[in-house]
Structure 1
Amino acid sequence: MAQNRLLIQSIGKLKNNGIRITPQRYAILQYLIENDTHPTADTIYQALSERFPNMSVATVYNNLRLFTKIGFVKEMKYGDASSRFDFATTEHYHAICERCGKIEDVYYPGLEDVESVTEDLTGFKVHTHRLEIYGICMECQSQEQTN
């Protein structure tokens, strides 16, 4: 139910910005909302290519860039690795597995004021921030114990 509401709100935001809702655009947005796995553009393309055989990876990238520009998708860049994309309705952080690359959302209200504190301490005009915590996920830990 909440996913449908997010999809409807996002479609409304696109329409309010004068952006046409194509079937591919709708499917990409729906995939992001329904799959909180922080997918790459290629992952999204692979998942939707059977439904949209004429859709290219470039179409997926272009739509992800558009969603990022509008502000309801965040691009997560990690060095040389492919960017991951996160449909973000609230500010949150990420725990990242150093072995398999799995990304879990972390909601921690104590860090909400980190930008204003940083501005006060450094004089920086902060535009945004990102917090990542690296470790080994439960699945990888289990695999280590069985080996």
Structure 2
Amino acid sequence: MEVQKKTRMTKQRKVILEEIRRINNHPAADEIYDRVRKRLPRISLGTVYRNLDVLCEMGEIQRLELSGPTKRYDGVPQKHYHIRCVCCDRVDDAPIAPLNELEDDLYGTTVFEIIGHNLEFTGLCPQCAKLHHQQKKEAS
């Protein structure tokens, strides 16, 4: 029988979690590090990365598996989808409920054991769309 070790909420983890939830913009680890250092000046980037991993394992946050160049974190641990701007890499929450029936539809039609899915929408954020349309107008 395996005994699970209870992970404590250390002061460092608590500050990291508070900062992720405070900014609510799906920050990268270096953005989190910059904010946390204002409150804990002696913390290292490695410590932030390790604690982000622990917070993910604890179910307090989630690591976003998006196709953009930056690995990001989300302070909302519940399953939900995201929209990523292909120009500036901005990430927002998609305003739709998770499509759990996708997994149900796939069950029994594959040899894979389905454990979840990721769905990412891509597009242009309002600022990039405005710039894109202005450039298109100027080019015509």
Q: Identity of aligned pairs, percent?
A: 30
> Any conservation in 2 of the 1:68–1:74 contact (CA below 8 Å)?
yes
CA distance in 2, matches of 1:21, 1:125: 33
What are the within-5 Å matches in structure 2 for residues 19-58 of structure 1?
Answer: 19-58=7-46
CA distance in 1, matches of 2:19, 2:39: 12
Q: For 1:93, give the aligned amino acid.
A: Y
Whichever structure has more helix as a proportion of its residues is 1
CA distance in 2, matches of 1:142, 1:60: 36
> Any conservation in 1 of the 2:85–2:124 contact (CA below 8 Å)?
yes
TM-score in terms of structure 2 length: 0.81
**Largest Rg, 1 or 2:** 2
Hey, what does 1:66 align to over in structure 2? 54
2:121 to 126, 130, 133: 133
CA distance in 1, matches of 2:80, 2:66: 17
> Any conservation in 1 of the 2:16–2:32 contact (CA below 8 Å)?
yes
TM-score in terms of structure 1 length: 0.78
Structure 1 gaps of 5+ residues are: 1-16
What are the within-5 Å matches in structure 2 for residues 90-105 of structure 1?
Answer: 90-105=78-93
Q: Secondary structure, in 3 states, of the residue corresponding to 1:134?
A: strand
> Any conservation in 2 of the 1:93–1:131 contact (CA below 8 Å)?
yes
Q: 1:32 to 1:110 in 2, by over 3 A?
A: closer
What is the number of residues matched between the two proteins?
131
